[in-house]
Amino acid sequence: MASSFARILSGNRKVGILSLVGAGSLTVGFFLNREQHVSAGSSVRRIYPPSAEYPDLRKHNNCMASHLTPAVYAKLCDKSTPNGYTLDEAIQTGVDNPGHPFIKTVGMVAGDEESYEVFADIFNPVIKERHNGYDPCNMKHPTDLDSSKIRGGMFDEKYVLSSRVRTGRSIRGLSLPPACTRAERREVERVVVDALAGLKGDLTGKYYSLTVMTEQEQQQLIDDHFLFDKPVSPLLTCAGMARDWPDARGIWHNNEKTFLVWINEEDHTRVISMEKGGNMRRVFERFCKGLQEVERLIQEKGWEFMWNERLGYILTCPSNLGTGLRAGVHVNLPRLSKDPRFSKILDNLRLQKRGTGGVDTAAVGSTFDISNLDRLGQSEVQLVQTVIDGVNYLIECERKLEKGQDIKIPAPISQFK
């Protein structure tokens, strides 16, 4: 591969090999020191003192605003990552979007892997708050994609209409969507599409670039509910993730339409395994197999995913760190959903409900999207098991209510196993 990337990132290939050998945090350290750019003041225009630049967060309700004190701002505002990403850029989305009194958004993003290190003084408390107490300073995140450990996972299809698992993956060495250049974004596309082309068997599929999609292809993807469009949420647009749309964006899916990858939307990749019906076990098996295959294929070319033992898989939004995993079902719960104990039951099972349109949508009828609450501090296997056990419990409650029996609020399950 004679592209400029091959020459530039040859350093990264060594990094890739080191990480295979298991030198997790050493790799990150090696990576940080490869450029001597992490210095105070080099890329930030400092005519005014930090106090004159500190954002007005009095009306704000997001995690960033809760933790970005003037002292933390002053400490970090002159720093930049090796690629030149700054604190002001990381927090811009949270400054521009004050938030909602009931829904606390995160309010900041990472522009590259190093952001989480260089701006750790703000990211760490934000991560701790968002992930229900997971402390990046002294805890380790377990990664486990061995689907054979799953118990059960075949739901009663009288209630469960569909099953889905999604996550994201970032390609180490390339900046993330808020900061990536056009060249980097195109390289992400090349690396991932190249790897996906190597998938075989039930994972054989095809890539549809957003820039050259035909009308017919577009309509089919809409009908399949696969197509993603230019982000309209100001949370994303203020973070710069829609720049240069639709350059280097696309959708890949297997012929069976059960494994889907989004390229260069909010993350380098979003990976989705889904099926109609209640076979969550098979959905998760395909998910793990597909992810591991893709990882193997990119490693053959000297690339790897962004990962470390402190934060797990590195993604753009701190809310998706760790597993980045949301495993869920569309489930019909006409009686349980009207029971006043429904929310408490979900809380104790560490599940969350959404409408069937996804985040920030309302339920249609009594069909809900039920998924895991947590992302960081538990492994993929643990979280999917939590969903399986939890949804089974909900179905049991629904059955009991059908028969006129009473239900119980379960004891709260422990968060960090």
Partner 1 sequence: MTKNCNNDYKMKFAVDEEFPDLSQHNNHMSKVLTKDIYNKLRSKSTPSGFTLDDCIQTGVDNPGHPFIMTVGCVAGDEESYEAFKELFDPVISDRHGGYKPTDKHLTDLNWENLKGGDDLDPNYVLSSRVRTGRSIKGFTLPPHNSRGERRAVEKLSIEALNSLDGEFKGKYYPLKDMTDKEQEQLIADHFLFDKPVSPLLLAAGMARDWSDGRGIWHNDNKTFLVWVNEEDHLRVISMQKGGNMKEVFKRFCVGLQKIEDVFKKHNHGFMWNEHLGFILTCPSNLGTGLRGGVHVKLPKLSTHAKFEEILTRLRLQKRGTGGVDTASVGGVFDISNADRLGSSEVQQVQLVVDGVKLMVEMEKKLEKGESIDDMIPAQK
Which is closer to partner 1, CB of 242 or CB of 260?
Answer: 242
Structure-derived torsion over alpha carbons of residues 183, 184, 190, 195, reported in degrees to the nearest 10? 170
If one asks whether residue 183 binds partner 1 (CB under 8 A), the answer comes out as: yes
Q: How far apart are CA 166 and CA 354, in angstroms?
A: 15
The amino acid sitting at 125 is: P
Task: Determine what percent of the chain falls in helix, strand and coil, rounding each to the nearest 5.
Answer: 40, 15, 45
Which is closer to partner 1, CB of 268 or CB of 289?
Answer: 268
Which is closer to partner 1, CB of 53 or CB of 389?
Answer: 53
Site size with partner 1, rule: CB under 8 A: 40
Contact 371, 328 (CB under 8 A): yes
Contact 259, 272 (CB under 8 A): yes
Binding site listing for ATP: 162-166, 225, 270, 326-330, 354-359
Least distance in angstroms from the C-beta of 178 to partner 1? 12
Q: How far apart are CA 196 and CA 180, in angstroms?
A: 22
Least distance in angstroms from the C-beta of 53 to partner 1? 4
Which is closer to partner 1, CB of 302 or CB of 322?
Answer: 302
Which is closer to partner 1, CB of 72 or CB of 139?
Answer: 72
Q: Which stretch binds partner 1 (CB under 8 A): 36-44, 279-287, 289-297, 369-377?
A: 36-44
If one asks whether residue 211 binds partner 1 (CB under 8 A), the answer comes out as: yes
- To the nearest 10 degrees (0 to 180), the angle between helices 120-130 and 87-96 is 40
Q: How far apart are CA 223 and CA 221, in angstroms?
A: 5
Ranges within 303-332 binding partner 1 (CB under 8 A): none
Contact 204, 290 (CB under 8 A): no
If one asks whether residue 237 binds partner 1 (CB under 8 A), the answer comes out as: yes
Least distance in angstroms from the C-beta of 243 to partner 1? 6
If one asks whether residue 52 binds partner 1 (CB under 8 A), the answer comes out as: yes
Tell me which residue of 271, 287, 254, 292 sits closest to 262, measured CA to CA: 271
If one asks whether residue 215 binds partner 1 (CB under 8 A), the answer comes out as: no
If one asks whether residue 182 binds partner 1 (CB under 8 A), the answer comes out as: yes
Q: How far apart are CA 215 and CA 222, in angstroms?
A: 10
Q: Which stretch binds partner 1 (CB under 8 A): 118-126, 178-186, 333-341, 385-393?
A: 178-186
Contact 252, 193 (CB under 8 A): yes
Selected binder of partner 1 within 4, 36, 216, 405 (CB under 8 A): 4
Query: What does each C-alpha distance from 398 to 218, 336, 337, 365 come to in angstroms?
Result: 39, 5, 9, 15
Which is closer to partner 1, CB of 179 or CB of 311?
Answer: 179
Ranges within 71-110 binding partner 1 (CB under 8 A): 80, 82-85, 88, 92, 95-96
Binding site listing: 162-166, 225, 270, 326-330, 354-359
If one asks whether residue 247 binds partner 1 (CB under 8 A), the answer comes out as: yes
Least distance in angstroms from the C-beta of 180 to partner 1? 10
Contact 22, 65 (CB under 8 A): no
Residues 6+ apart with CB under 8 A from 407: 336, 339, 341, 345, 397, 400, 401
Which is closer to partner 1, CB of 91 or CB of 345?
Answer: 91
Both tokens of residue 350? 């560490």
If one asks whether residue 53 binds partner 1 (CB under 8 A), the answer comes out as: yes
Chain residues binding partner 1 by CB under 8 A are 3-5, 8, 37, 42-45, 47-48, 52-56, 80, 82-85, 88, 92, 95-96, 179, 181-184, 186-187, 211, 237-238, 242-245, 247
